[in-house]
Amino acid sequence: MPYEIFKPVADRLPVTYHLPPLNQPFLLPEHPTGWLKRQTRGICQYYMNPQGMGLTMTDNEIPCSISAVIPVYNDRESLARAIPVSLEYLDRITRIFELIITEDASTDGSYELARSWAERDQRIKVRHRDKRLGRGSALNEAVLSATGDIFCYFDVDMATDMTHLSELITSIRKGYDIAIGSRLLKESRITRSPDREMKSRGYNLLVRLCIGGDVRDHQCGFKAFNRMKLLELLPSIQDTHWFWDTELLAYAERRGYRIKELPVVWKEGPGTTVKTRDILLMGRSILGLRLRLLRESRTPPSPDQYPQPSGGIFTQTGFMHLK
């Protein structure tokens, strides 16, 4: 089977080699800094041979390109903990990643902290806005600017145990379109107040009753996506704040996306709350989405003009080497 080798950035013309399959060593003496590209179930996987030496690789050792996102608004203290922890766990999975911090007009120094990290580490990107536009809007921008084959995000308070990140990413690499952490599976271990537990279960029950679907936990802030499949969903998503997750998963299920729901260890972060007002607003959003889905089922929309991924680490014509 032929594989494409992309030379360093000075010479990006691909060279085709016939190499042994996975779990067998291979040698690239001509291109000691080359990258081996293999297409698997819609996700680009990159094998690196930095020393030009024979390598043996298993499925769990295949590097992949990841864009990880941390949305933040006025949570500098949590962000200070989240950045080094995120870098540590991402680096265990692959060396080809970017960490995007979407800062939504914070006033507590969150932006300045994120920028100081980005100045020291080129893997960190910061997206700052002078006016608060909402978490969903920030995630939309992050998806469009991301460069990884896999897009994931997690809450800044690290409520979900980050040891689950590898399993989340592996699910996408194995062919799932979406992988989500779930606090409502029986295997999950959750620590939170009875009030928040009741609100969460009530909300997700209302979603399933009004909209349908098999997803049990729509709002856990711990999700990963095949980014190209996610881009196809964005034109349908209208919410710009907390309902973004629910709306996205509802459309994904209706379009037959493969979704993997994973049990997690989850602990309520300090200072995090779910206000009754927010629950009422999201309840209204559920009913609005139900009506919209009913209208669309009667009158199928014309084909969407899906947004195109930005140029960046990977392009359609070749590979851009990370510095």
Alpha carbon distance 8, 303 (integer Å): 39
Per-residue H/E/C for 125-164: EEEEECCCCCHHHHHHHHHHHCCCCEEEEECCCCCECHHH
Residue-wise burial string across 87-100, b where 16 or more C-beta atoms lie within 10 A, e elsewhere: bebbeebbebbbbb
Active-site residues, by number, are 245
Q: What angle do CA 157, 109, 93 make, to 5 degrees?
A: 40
Beta bridge partners, 259, equal 178
More confident residue, 147 or 5: 147
Give tens-digit pLDDT for 61-119: 444 589 999 999 999 999 999 999 999 999 999 988 999 999 999 999 999 999 999 99
198: tokens are: 């009741």
Integer distance in angstroms from the first to the last C-alpha of the chain? 30
- The answer as to CATH 3.90.550.10 being correct for domain 66-298 is yes
Give tens-digit pLDDT for 168-205: 999 999 999 999 999 999 999 999 999 889 889 999 99
- Angle formed by the axes of helices 76-93 and 165-173, to 10°? 50
**Mean of the per-residue pLDDT values for the chain?**
78
Computed over its alpha carbons, how large is the radius of gyration of the chain?
A: 21
253: tokens are: 């299920």
Beta bridge partners, 33, equal none
Longest dimension (CA), the chain: 63
Identify the H or E element spanning 223: strand 222-226
Alpha carbon distance 180, 298 (integer Å): 30
**Residue 300: predicted pLDDT:** 58
- In the chain, domain spans: 2-61, 66-298
CA-nearest of 174, 134, 180 to 154 is 180
